[in-house]
Amino acid sequence: MDFIKTIIKNRKMIFQLGKNEFRNKFSNTSLGAIWGFIQPFIFLVTYAVVIQFILKSGASGDNPFIVWYLPGMAMWMLINDNILNVTVSIRNYSYLVKKVVFPIDTIPVISLISTSITSIFIILIALIICIIYGYVPNILLMLYYIFAAFCFLIGFTRMTSAITTLVPDFGQLLSVVMQVLFWFTPILWDITAIVGTFGGKLIYIIKCMPFAYLVTGLRESVVGGNLFTEGYGIYTIIFWIITIGIFIWSNHIFKKCKKDFADVL
């Protein structure tokens, strides 16, 4: 596809601009880009201390709550931060859009790389804390779910960035929707806990959600589960059908909207 060819052709420029964008976020501070790592580190450590030692939260099943909670939260932050930041990327790079020679298709990917620098660091911190508790992640599974997350994000944010460029209110609406989805995604609660309340029907709908699949998957790669062999295989198929469908649709939307970008910016 033209989009993939464009990304491969401009990969060096994309990575360089992504790194530059990350550094520029903190260019007016004394510590610079270090703040991009200090903030999430303090955030996760604070949650670990408060939940485990102050609130003295119990375990989730056979696992300590912190070990169960942190990987899922780290994955959610990867998804949420990228969606919200990349969605407004084309508007943020309006000066490049007006340059005819610049490949506009690369802009969402540039912001994805910039935001992911912090997001990957958050996942690493979460995994280090889990290792301290004696839980060693399944590296192959973990890498698979991170790869799956980026595949989903590339397609989804390509669509949302195009729509937001033409309709700025869509970005605000998406921010509200992501807040709602946070509570409908099994981050703070165990997905099996709703079986008794809703008769088990809602659990199948939630498992079909890409967010739930990714959050649960990264968590299981740490606590010892394997979604491929424990009744979750069908949801892997559903996830990739949704992801590929979104990618195809996003290409259609982006191409249709791209000709109007320069006029509205």
Q: What is the pLDDT of residue 235?
A: 85
Q: What is the pLDDT of residue 225?
A: 59
**pLDDT < 50 stretches in the chain:** 229
Q: What is the pLDDT of residue 229?
A: 47
Structure token pair of residue 130: 């889990």
**Domain segments of the chain: what residues?**
2-264
- Check if the beta carbon of residue 14 is closer than 8 Å to that of residue 111: no
> Can you tell me the distance from the alpha carbon of 3 to that of 248, in angstroms, rounded to the nearest whole number?
11
Any idea what DSSP says for residue 105?
Answer: G
The vertex-76 CA angle with 75 and 81, nearest 5°, equals: 105
- The pTM of this model reads 0.86
Strand partners, 63: 60
Q: Return the closest-CA partner of residue 76 out of 183, 176, 159.
A: 183
Q: What is the pLDDT of residue 240?
A: 94
Q: What is the pLDDT of residue 149?
A: 95
